[in-house]
Amino acid sequence: MECMRCGAGTKLVQLVDPGPGGCPICARAKPKSIWDSEKMCVVDCYVCPQCGHIELTASKPELFRDI
C-alpha cells in the first residue's frame, strides 16, 4: 500500500495490546439479536517507514456489511 501522506511504500505490521498478553487489536460489532453471532476481525496496520503515517484497515470488512 502507498502512503497517503508522502507516497512511500507502507509496511503491514501487527497492532497489539501493549499489555502483558500482547493480543492483536480487533474490530468488533455486537450481535443484533440472540440468533446472531458477534462479528470480529483483526485490524491490519500499515505504517510508513518514511513519515510515520499509520493507516488502519479491517482484515475482513465484509463481516460488517449487515450490522
Question: What residue ranges bind Zn ion (CB under 5 A)?
Answer: 3, 5-6, 8, 48, 50-51, 53
Taking the complex as a whole, the smallest distance from the CB of residue 8 to Zn ion amounts, in Å, to 5
Q: How far is the CB of 2 from Zn ion (least distance, A)?
A: 9
Q: Which is nearer to Zn ion, 7 or 31 (CB)?
A: 7
Kindly write down the DSSP assignment for every residue of the chain, as one continuous string.
-B-TTT-PBPEEEE-B-SSSS-PBPEEEE--SSTTSPPEEEEEEEEE-TTT--EEEEES-GGGGTT-
Residue nearer to Zn ion on the CB measure, 6 or 16: 6
